[in-house]
Structure 1
Amino acid sequence: RYRCGAEHQTTPDHQKNGGGGMSSWIKPTVLQVYSFSMSMPLIAFVLNYIIYDERIFKDIKVWLISFPLVFILGFLSWSGHVAIGNAIRKRYPGLEQSKLRIMLLVFAIIPFMSLSIVLIFLLYNQVGVLGYQLAESDLKAGLLVGFSVNLIFETLFEADYALGKYKESVEEKNRIGELAVQQEFDTLKSQVNPHFLFNCFNTLSSLITEDRQKAESFLNELSKVYRYLLRNNEDGVSTVENEIKFIQSYYQLLRTRHGEAVQLNIEIDKRYNPYLLPSLTLQLLVENVVKHNSLSKNYPVVIDIFTTAGNKLVVNNNLRHRVVKIKGTRVGLDNIRAKYKLLNKEGFQAMSDERNFTVILPLIWSSAVENKTLNTNKIKPQ
């Protein structure tokens, strides 16, 4: 008895995976090609054994004629399965469409597989390949083998396709989340510059009427500081070293306006220089100190900035309460708190008593920030 059915089986299986991610729906995926290449020799052997029984071990013609024919027919059948499967995946690519996609694959692949098996048997019978004659048992065996092979490989391909789509959806979700965080961070940054400018222009306006020479000096310092501010506010975080340099420049503005009524003491352990904190944090805190305290040369407001154990930067000032309190917008503290929250960094504290107001800023090691979604050098809205 000579039988013919397995060659078709391999081809359908390998087509299954994934036209959804392909540039052309007719192009096979790597997994499809790999599966076909690995499984076809074994399937061809099984097929020829079903067709020719023990003759496969005795007649060299089976290897020279039937085996190449099985490969050719198998390749044609596999190409058809690839086109059908990938076309369905391209038409219904979403994970939410998996049930519909699987149903369409079942109703398309099984008839195609069955038709391929029947045509192969008819061809072998009609041509009489090496004396083959069609037998009903051969046809049943061929259909059973074809169905089994298709079931295994189609399940593998669909699982691989679904897994790839799931990874894409997770990556896209993460990307959207990163962009949302970046947009929120950009919003916080945009609050700083107008806030800073508004207060500086108020100061400049006052100086123009009080002392034109001081006003001119203030304006020169302001232009230098604002250029520095623009550069450093482009990123979400800045090094302690850069923040200290900036606050020293900003302090010159305060000295121009208020003289010795505001005093600044800085004591920073150099080992903390490369550590990071949200950009312009110190400027916001110092600005708030000046805004909410009564300034007098005889009773100066003293601002101390220093580092402590545990990777912390402390900003402390004595309190000189104004007779008429200014209603604050809380842009400063809320802005800093929000930035630390977006950076997933705990430890920010703002405390006060009758004499002092203290803010504790947790410092961040630079390598940790590189892994945060807020690293603006890596996350830019498209």
Structure 2
Amino acid sequence: MAYDYLMLYYVYEKPQLFDYPIQSVRKHILNVFAMGFLFFLWIVAYTIYKTTTQIKNNKMDRMEIENTLKDSQLNALKGQINPHFMFNCLNNIRGLILENPEKSREMITRLSEMLRYSLAKNEITTIVLEEEIEMVENFIEISKIQMEERLNFTSQIDKNTLKLQIPPMIIQMLIENAVKHGIAKLKGGGQISLQTTLKHNNLTILVVNTGILTIDKDSTQLGIKNIEKRLHLIYGEKASFKLEEIKNTVIAKIIIPIL
């Protein structure tokens, strides 16, 4: 009986003696849950970090592969230019050797200057437009040696465009195409005009020549395809190339974004 009164006394009068062990257990349990929750958060954070890092690395690897492939494709396309241009010029020189040796020598000199230029720029994706214009002028002089008065060339070059970057030989190929498929087929010859303008952060290159838009049966259209592929590889959908005929005049128009 005395024991019962003693227990009642401790329960009601000294409850802290019984609460202490319970609070200690609760505290330990809460600590275990807290540690577990923190460990769970660490696992989640680590998983997110590793996943993000892996995605980033995969993206960088994919971009590196794409850039390497793009460079390889561009180099292959640039490799098509020299043989194509050489073939046309050597044919012209062959026709002049017996007829006019002096002009043929001048033609060879200008051709060597152009080849030196193209070799120097072979590993470059873009050049300043001013350098390309010099290339075009050499090509025009070579063509005039053969066609004489049948070829009339004019240009309107916006001074603000001279230092802008463009793919090498892209204008020269347009001019070459105009001479070969336009002026050369006209008995009385014709005119080629080159114009560059800068508007709304876009460079517009316009080549207009007398003639009609025809595609020879045996033509590979190498120059046109080359231009289209290089523009797409460098600028994607931001650049455009259009070739059309309006009233016996062929118009080639290239629009390039200023990067």
Report the equivalent of 1:21: none
SS of the residue 2:152 aligns to: strand
Quickly say closer, same or farther: Cα 1:186–1:166, change in 2 above 3 A.
same
| Alignment partner of 1:336 out of 202, 227, 234 | 227
The answer to whether the 8 A contact 1:319-1:356 is kept is yes
Cα distance in 1 between the residues matched to 2:185 and 2:27: 105
Instruction: Indicate yes or no: 2:116 matched with 1:202.
Output: no
Instruction: Indicate yes or no: 2:211 matched with 1:319.
Output: yes
| Alignment partner of 2:60 out of 168, 171, 179 | 171
The answer to whether the 8 A contact 2:211-2:249 is kept is yes
Cα distance in 2 between the residues matched to 1:148 and 1:348: 60
Report the equivalent of 2:245: 352
Q: CA deviation at 1:289?
A: 2.0
Instruction: Indicate yes or no: 2:115 matched with 1:226.
Output: yes
1:252 maps to amino acid: E
Report the equivalent of 1:83: none
The answer to whether the 8 A contact 2:239-2:256 is kept is no
1:346 maps to amino acid: A
Instruction: Indicate yes or no: 2:255 matched with 1:362.
Output: yes
Cα distance in 1 between the residues matched to 2:177 and 2:142: 14
The answer to whether the 8 A contact 1:275-1:364 is kept is no
Q: CA deviation at 1:259?
A: 1.9
| Residue correspondence of structure 1 range 117-266 to structure 2 within 5 A | 146-266=35-155
2:101 maps to amino acid: R
SS of the residue 2:176 aligns to: helix
Cα distance in 1 between the residues matched to 2:28 and 2:191: 96
Instruction: Indicate yes or no: 2:168 matched with 1:276.
Output: no
Q: Write out per-residue CA displacement over residues 104-155 of structure 1, whole angstroms, 9 at most, x where no aligned residue.
A: xxxxxxxxxxxxxxxxxxxxxxxxxxxxxxx999987776555444322222
Runs of 4+ residues over 3 Å off in structure 1: 135-149, 293-298, 308-311
Q: Write out per-residue CA displacement over residues 259-305 of structure 1, whole angstroms, 9 at most, x where no aligned residue.
A: 22222111112112122332111211121122223548972221101
Cα distance in 2 between the residues matched to 1:221 and 1:306: 23
Quickly say closer, same or farther: Cα 1:152–1:293, change in 2 above 3 A.
closer
| Residue correspondence of structure 1 range 31-46 to structure 2 within 5 A | none
Quickly say closer, same or farther: Cα 1:296–1:164, change in 2 above 3 A.
closer
State TM-score, norm by structure 1: 0.54
The answer to whether the 8 A contact 1:302-1:318 is kept is yes
Cα distance in 1 between the residues matched to 2:100 and 2:50: 74
Cα distance in 2 between the residues matched to 1:269 and 1:140: 80
Quickly say closer, same or farther: Cα 1:144–1:267, change in 2 above 3 A.
closer
Instruction: Indicate yes or no: 2:179 matched with 1:287.
Output: no
Q: CA deviation at 1:234?
A: 2.8
Pick the structure with more strand per residue. 2
Cα distance in 1 between the residues matched to 2:226 and 2:187: 32
Cα distance in 1 between the residues matched to 2:182 and 2:218: 12
The answer to whether the 8 A contact 1:301-1:320 is kept is no
Unaligned 5+ segments in structure 1 are 1-52, 54-134, 369-382
The answer to whether the 8 A contact 1:261-1:296 is kept is no
